[in-house]
Amino acid sequence: MKKLLLSMGLALAVTMNAQTKKVATKTATKPQTGYASVKIGEQEWMSKNLDVSTFSNGDPIPRAQSNAEWEKAFAQHTPAWCYYIVGYSKEKYYGNPEKNKKYGKLYNWYAVNDERGLAPKDWIIPSYDDFMQLLNFLEPEYDDYGNAIQALKSSSGWYNEYSYNNTNLNGTNTSGFNAYPGGYRNGVKGGSDKFSYIGSMMKFWMKGTDGKACSLSNGGDGRDYPFKAVISCKYNEADGLSVRCVKGFNKTIQNYFDDGMERSNSGDYSGAIKNFDKGLSINSNDVNIIYHRGMANYKLNNIDAAIDDFKSISSFQTDRDNDNDIKLKHLAIYNLGYLNQKIGNFEEACNWFLEEVKDGNIQAKQGMKECNCKKLYGLGTE
């Protein structure tokens, strides 16, 4: 990303690298987001299927609890999720969370491709290239990626209900990917109530090179060639497939941020704010974007809006293992002191400056002197 340099009244200047990629160094880690992960080659993957019911901005993802609701989502091109169930034609309730929790949710393509972001913060829906990198790392000399598929599959839970000789379909899970056979939901009109191949097939959504809905599975139906990798871009957007995320950054957010930075650097602060707002509509808690929107508001003399942005950052927890967020929180608190001083709210300014003085901020100490904080409000020291 571009770097943004903006200064405020007390000679505050900051240059920062935004959303720098981080590579995990541990195996089978559990990030603070709560998603267990595993490092495979240079990639970090979730080691469980996605099981979220909200987009990354907090909006709920509708749950389809009947055939009619699933078909309606397809007709209207809207997101939906469900759990796989056995005996679907006889059950009123679409999926048993306790029974199928280990398989995660099945999502339609409109949930996967929604601009609000199905993947949690710092994770993305894998692309064709992401999955090919994974397969090639596990099996550098291509055959049919049978060895790679075995390394991805869990070492238990696989069976072949269609096999006459009860073929053992368990994998080795040497990669730690731990792919369970979650099956899928056929979303084609007339077959939308059909759940298939739980126990014998894994099928994950991926984004094709041209943005098409594609998938990676372990075979045509899990029984004809269950040990081969099959990538297909012929799936209906209404199908319900599993999702396995890879570490990365939402490119849509990245693009909005980049555009905002470009406009800020050229002096188009109104245009910058519009792009920052679009990024925040996807992830409303992106500290980096909120901070730079606050700076753009300051440049436009929208002081109240800038104060609101910096206040929202000041309330964030900083135990995120993210040095950039921590630095931005300190800068936001200092800016709150300066802006309140600028509009004559001296007691408020003193309280904000005092927080930073405790952390050794020399500029904040100077701000307290200028606001006469000790004499007027008994705050700080001379």
Annotate 281-335 with DSSP letters as a single string: HH-TT-HHHHHHHHHHHHHTT-HHHHHHHHHHHHTS---SS-HHHHHHHHHHHHH
Confidence of residue 161 (pLDDT cuts 50, 70, 90): low
Amino acid 11: pLDDT? 30
Give pTM, 2 decimals.
0.64
Coil, helix or strand for 181? coil
Residue 26 lies in a domain: no
pLDDT higher than 50, residue 302? yes
pLDDT for the residue numbered 89: 43
Same domain for 103 and 208: yes
Mean residue pLDDT across the chain: 79
Q: Domain boundary residue among 223, 247, 271?
A: 247
CATH of the domain at 355: 1.25.40.10
CA distances from 30 to 26, 36, 166 (A): 9, 4, 36
pLDDT over 70 (residue 254): yes
On whether residue 50 sits in a domain, the answer given is yes
Residue 76, pLDDT score = 93
Question: Do 299 and 236 reside in the same domain of the chain?
Answer: no
325-382: per-residue pLDDT in tens? 888 999 999 999 999 999 999 999 898 998 888 877 888 888 888 888 877 777 765 5
- Domain boundary, last residue among 225, 247, 269: 247
Residue 110, pLDDT score: 95
Flag whether 30 is in a domain.
no
Residues 291 and 325: their CA atoms lie apart, in Å, by 10
Q: What is the pLDDT of residue 356?
A: 87
pLDDT for the residue numbered 236:
75
CA atoms within 13 A of residue 365's CA, in its CB half-sphere: 8
Same domain, 254 and 240: no
Q: Is residue 166 one of the residues assigned to a domain?
A: yes
Tell me: do 260 and 228 sit in the same domain.
no
Residue 209 sits in the same domain as residue 257: no
Q: How many domains does the chain have?
A: 2
Q: Please tell me the distance from the alpha carbon of residue 61 to that of residue 140, in angstroms, as a whole number.
A: 38
Average pLDDT, integer, range 43-64: 93
Q: Does one domain contain both 188 and 110?
A: yes
pLDDT at 23: 26
* pLDDT above 90 (res 45): yes
- φ and ψ at 300, to 5 degrees? -90, 5
**Same domain (yes/no): 93, 142:** yes
Whether residue 219 sits in one domain with residue 286: no
Considering only 48-57, 235-244, 295-304, which range has the smallest mean pLDDT?
A: 235-244
- Does some domain include residue 182? yes
Most confident of 14-18, 99-103, 223-227: 99-103
Q: What is the pLDDT of residues 17-27, one digit of tens each?
A: 333 322 222 33
Q: Does residue 214 belong to any structural domain of this protein?
A: yes
Per the domain annotation, does 27 fall within a domain? no
- Determine the distance from the C-alpha atom of residue 261 to the mean position of all C-alpha atoms in its chain, rounded to a whole number: 21
242 with 260, same domain?
A: no
Q: Is residue 31 part of a domain?
A: no
Is residue 236 located within the same domain as residue 160?
Answer: yes
Q: Residue 223: pLDDT above 60?
A: no
Verify that 218 and 101 share a domain, yes or no: yes
pLDDT at 227: 63
Domain-terminating residue out of 201, 218, 247? 247
Kindly indicate the confidence band of residue 222, based on its pLDDT and cuts at 50, 70 and 90: very low
Q: Which domain holds residue 154?
A: 37-247
Residues 46 and 142 in one domain: yes
Q: What percent of the chain has pLDDT over 90?
A: 39
Q: Who has greater pLDDT, 69 or 28?
A: 69
Residue 335 confidence (pLDDT): 93
Degrees to nearest 5, angle at CA 55 with 53 and 60: 55
Contact 310, 339 (CB under 8 A): yes
- pLDDT for residue 264: 95
Answer yes or no: is pLDDT of 216 > 90.
no
The string of pLDDT tens digits covering residues 182-199 is 888 887 655 545 778 888
